[in-house]
Amino acid sequence: MKKLIYLGLSFLLILSSCKKVETDLLIDAIKNGHGKKVKVCHQAGKGKITVIEIKVSALEAHLAHGDFVLDADGDGFTAVGACYGSKDDCDDNDATIYPGAAEICGDEKDNNCNGIIDENCGPDFVIFNIRNNAGTIVAPWDSDVLLTENAAGDGFLYSTPRAGQKVGYGTDFFDGQKLKTIQDVNWTLLSGNSGIVPYLNIWVTDGLGNYAVISSENNYVGTNFGTRTEWKIFEYGPSKTNFDWLFDSGIGARDGAQYLTLNGSRINLSQLSDRIVIGDPGNYPATNVGTGAPRGGYGFNLIWGDTQANFVLKSGQIGGLTITASGVTHTVQN
């Protein structure tokens, strides 16, 4: 029986200690955010609650009697169940959280109190035309090309009935990030030929005037980009032969099948220099930039169509597009 009493007392002491720590943290936060006085919901007796303003020095005693602070975090909103004010702040201990707050992507909090964590934080892709059947790269565009984003904004329908036609689906969400941080790209083929898929075109630069498109033409879905060695290089500039700028050391080149190599071996993305970041160059000089370059203004692009016959009279649809970068999987959305 004594052991049970000791255990009970120990448990009460732990609870008391935790409550004391929480109270101290709250008082410190209020001193920093409210100044010398603070409003509280005060237990006035007989079930009556009133709003009173007290000195912060008296707050601990009031909290001990069951009072609680109005707008503890100083964001202008009072907690759910408060006796006064907005009564709708779902976390009154965090000034970044209140109804109508801007969602802070990546903080894993429901900043706007709508029950959804980090909504509208995924990449937003945009559809665009690249080239007509006649080789032209400006409007008017071929009317028989089909390029339509789905309702969820996580994929698109595509069709290029004639050779040369080319369309894109791009985002600037990853612009400025190191290319080597992209780990994988996944999507679901909803219709079409599984052997012919939208390929990747990623504009990259070292910030020193060099730029290129790193491309994956084979089926890359679900593969590890840190070990995958099927990366081609196109639209390069200013040189067609010097690709050393993509690496910290060694000899960069392009082999006969257009794959990017380092010291004679095909590379994976982890071998690229940290200097190499994603980003559309914003201008497309004729030298070394062909008509197939994705001129949508987006660094990261999925592409459908080409001069090759395997894209002619083919169509399909993808959905559920996700991109994993630096350990975070981003779900594409409008």
> What is the residue type of 255?
D
* DSSP annotation string for 121-169: -S---EEEEEE-TTS--SSSPPTT-EEEE-TTSS-EEEEE-STT-EEEE
Average pLDDT of every residue of the chain? 86
Cβ-contact 74, 33 below 8 angstroms: yes
| More confident position, 70 or 105 | 70
Q: Check whether 1 has a pLDDT greater than 60.
A: no
Give the strand pairing for 48-55 and 126-131.
unpaired
- Residue 301 Ramachandran class (φ > 0 left, ψ -120 to 50 alpha, else beta): beta
d(CA 201, CA 236): 12
Q: Check whether 219 has a pLDDT greater than 50.
A: yes
Query: For the segment 104-157, what is each residue's pLDDT rounded down to a tens digit?
Result: 777 778 899 988 777 767 899 999 999 999 999 999 999 999 999 999 899 999
Looking at residue 249, what is its pLDDT? 97
Give me the sheet containing 265-266, strands edge to edge: 252-254, 260-262, 265-266
d(CA 143, CA 148): 13
Cis amide linkage into residue 285, ω under 30° from 0: no
Query: For the segment 88-107, what is each residue's pLDDT rounded down to a tens digit?
Result: 999 988 999 999 988 877 77
- What whole-number percentage of the chain has pLDDT above 70? 89
Which residues, in sequence order, are bridge partners of residue 169?
A: 127, 302
Query: For the segment 165-178, what is each residue's pLDDT rounded down to a tens digit?
Result: 999 999 999 999 99
Cβ-contact 150, 156 below 8 angstroms: yes
Spell out the residues 6+ positions from residue 73 whose beta carbon is closer than 8 angstroms to its own.
Answer: 29, 33, 89, 91, 92, 93, 94, 95, 97
d(CA 261, CA 253): 5
pTM over 0.85: no
Least confidently predicted of 67-76, 235-244, 286-295, 306-315:
306-315
Mean per-residue pLDDT for 291-315? 89
Give the strand pairing for 328-331 and 314-325.
antiparallel
pLDDT band at 34 (very low <50, low <70, confident <90, very high): low
SS3 of residue 37 by DSSP: strand
Query: For the segment 258-293, what is each residue's pLDDT rounded down to a tens digit?
Result: 999 999 999 999 999 999 999 999 888 778 899 999
